[in-house]
């Protein structure tokens, strides 16, 4: 079918680049449509290869998905953990740096869609959920808990239940990402990150700090 001189393209070997192209296409579609609703046909097509090719690089849909997460989430997470470990200054600044960095590195990119996706499909694909929880969620949680504990230990934050507080302060960040991937994507009142983040830091730091005067006037 379709005998054309460009057919030779078909045999172009791109072993090096293929996995990256497939992962990029998969990220796009998983985030757009969810895990179950993404057809591997479409992933392959978007990467410009046939469906069979996909199976040369990934054993199945789940492995492809795990690879997407590994590729996109883990580097940013490594960085964030480094920042926390090496931080010297006050806790409020660290908190701000981490949250704003998160937004830069994850929130602004398609990767932010993964949170929604995981939450959405965890019921039907428990193995995927477990993988994400172990590789990503638990590390994020640990990192934030340690920030809060550090702040309390230094007398900067009020003494609170750090485990619960971690969940409370994480929630608005996750929701920001999820909202813009769901309703926002359908152009229903998308959140403007700038003022949202400012207000978030204002309220949360005001809520955490022992001396709220510090952040009583929004920064920037």
Residue numbers of the site for DNA (CB under 7 A)?
A: 1, 8, 10-15, 18, 37-41, 44, 49-53, 55-56, 59-62
Distance from C-alpha of 134 to C-alpha of 209, rounded to nearest angstrom: 30
Q: What is the DSSP letter of 8?
A: G
Q: Taking Cα atoms as reference points, which of 97, 122, 96 lies closest to residue 202?
A: 96
Least distance (Å) between residue 62 CB and DNA: 7
Distance from C-alpha of 100 to C-alpha of 200, rounded to nearest angstrom: 11
Structure tokens given for 60: 């199945």
Q: Is 110 exposed, middle or buried (0-12, 13-18, 19+ CB in 10 A)?
A: middle
Residue from 155, 183, 214, 219 binding a copy of itself (CB under 8 A)? 183
Least distance (Å) between residue 79 CB and a copy of itself: 24
Q: Which stretch binds a copy of itself (CB under 8 A): 1-9, 11-19, 42-50, 203-211?
A: 203-211
Say whether residue 60 binds a copy of itself (CB under 8 A).
no
Token pair 């994507």 is found at 185
Residues from 99 through 138 that contact a copy of itself (CB under 8 A): 116-124, 126, 129-130, 133, 137-138
Q: Kindly tell me which of 37 and 108 has the beta carbon lying closer to DNA.
A: 37
Q: What is the DSSP letter of 159?
A: P
CB 51 within 8 A of CB 16: no
Least distance (Å) between residue 42 CB and DNA: 8
Look at residue 129 and give the partner it binds from a copy of itself, DNA, none, a contact being a CB closer than 5 to 8 Å depending on partner kind. a copy of itself
In sequence order, what are the residues at sequence separation of 6 or more whose Cβ sits closer than 8 angstroms to the Cβ of residue 209? Answer: 92, 156, 157, 158, 215
Residues that bind a copy of itself in the complex, under the rule CB under 8 A = 32-34, 36-37, 116-124, 126, 129-130, 133, 137-138, 141, 158, 160-161, 164-165, 167-172, 174-176, 178-179, 181-183, 185-186, 188-189, 191, 195-196, 198-200, 202-208, 212, 216, 218
């Amino acid at each position: 079918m379709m005998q054309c001189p460009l057919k030779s393209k078909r045999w172009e070997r791109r072993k090096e680049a293929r996995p990256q192209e497939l992962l990029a296409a998969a990220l796009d579609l998983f985030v757009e449509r969810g895990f179950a609703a993404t057809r591997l046909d479409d992933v392959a097509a978007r990467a410009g290869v046939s469906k069979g090719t996909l199976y040369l690089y990934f054993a199945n849909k789940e492995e492809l998905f795990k690879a997407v997460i590994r590729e996109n989430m883990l580097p940013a997470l490594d960085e964030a953990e480094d920042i926390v470990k090496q931080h010297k200054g006050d806790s409020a600044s660290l908190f701000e740096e981490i949250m704003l960095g998160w937004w830069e590195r994850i929130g602004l990119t398609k990767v932010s869609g993964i949170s929604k996706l995981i939450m959405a499909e965890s019921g039907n694909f428990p193995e995927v959920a477990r993988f994400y929880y172990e590789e990503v969620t638990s590390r994020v949680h640990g990192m934030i808990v340690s920030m809060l504990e550090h702040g309390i230990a230094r007398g900067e934050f009020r003494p609170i239940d750090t485990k619960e507080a971690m969940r409370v302060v994480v929630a608005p960040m996750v929701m920001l990402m999820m909202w813009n991937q769901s309703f926002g994507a359908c152009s229903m009142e998308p959140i403007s990150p700038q003022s949202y983040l400012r207000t978030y830091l204002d309220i949360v730091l005001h809520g955490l700090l022992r001396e709220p005067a510090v952040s009583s006037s929004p920064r920037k």
